[in-house]
Amino acid sequence: MDNRDDPIAEFLQRAQFYDDVYTSSAAGSRRPEVPDGVSVTHNPIARDLGISERLWNNVTAIDEQIKTLDDDMTLVMITERLHESLVLLKRLMCWRLQDILYWPRQYPDYTLRLDNNPDSRAKHRKWSLADYMLYDHFNKTLQQKISEQGKDFHREVDHFTTVLHDVLEYCQSNLKTYMVVSASKWNQEFVLSRDYCRRMKMNTQQYLNVFKTSYQNLWPGTQ
């Protein structure tokens, strides 16, 4: 790109051109596991959720697809409101508090941000219109679901955040003892071991391998 100081602005100035270059077979080695012709910048969420590319410039059609998705999905979680989303999921699924504990992944902080350039943000909304419409709709519905919860919902979110903090401290320590999480209004007492920490730190593929090994041990010869 010619504009090295603001490559996002440069990309959005000629988004279709750069996207065509990146999705071409010639660039295949630069995007492993992404098929030719599949964009990772142009409405990727809409694509994953089955909204056809031919509808991406049709606001009415996108809105109809979003309504269909809303009917099909009981809950759509929002990353920026992760703890509220997880507590909602726990309540909907009748899960225990320990079922929503997670190990946070450390991702780099991106210095190139759309909110540093209002013009780029407007161009990006136009480039990924379907994704913005999806986000705006499901962010609104998430807030509505939260508002329908009881007065103790945010207290439960705070409690979950505190327990998670304590669990992460335990899992990062060298303690050999078990950790006991006391009972509360939102959970029964439960005990965590070092093995729980080990499993919680696994990525998806590692966890699947554990299940695969267990399955093969039960039924030797299976693939």
Residue 222 has pLDDT above 70, yes or no: no
Pairwise pLDDT comparison (10 vs 154), residue with the higher score? 154
DSSP for 47-104, please give it: HHTT--GGGTT-HHHHHHHHHHHHHH-S----GGGHHHHHHHHHHHHT--GGGG----
Q: How far apart are CA 54 and CA 22, in angstroms?
A: 20
- Number of residues in the chain: 223
pLDDT in tens, 39-96: 989 999 999 999 999 999 999 999 999 999 999 999 999 999 999 999 999 999 999 9
Pairwise pLDDT comparison (5 vs 193), residue with the higher score? 193
The single-letter code of the amino acid at 127 is W
Out of 164-168, 190-194, 212-216, pick the least confident: 212-216
pLDDT in tens, 190-212: 999 999 999 999 988 888 888 88
Q: Output the pTM of the full model.
A: 0.85
**Contact in structure between 64 and 156 (CB atoms under 8 Å):** no
What is the CA 166 to chain-centroid distance, rounded? Answer: 23
67-101 in b/e burial notation, b at 16+ Cβ within 10 A?
Answer: eebeeeeeebeeeeeebbbbbbebbeeeeebbebb
pLDDT of residue 32: 79
Q: How far is CA 58 from CA 4, 38, 63, 64, 132, in A?
A: 33, 20, 9, 10, 13
- pLDDT confidence tier of residue 189, bands split at 50, 70 and 90: very high
Q: How far is CA 31 from CA 26, 39, 106, 107, 109, in A?
A: 10, 10, 22, 19, 21
Question: Which tokens sit at 68?
Answer: 């269909």
Residue 1 has pLDDT above 90, yes or no: no
Three-state secondary structure call for residue 12:
helix
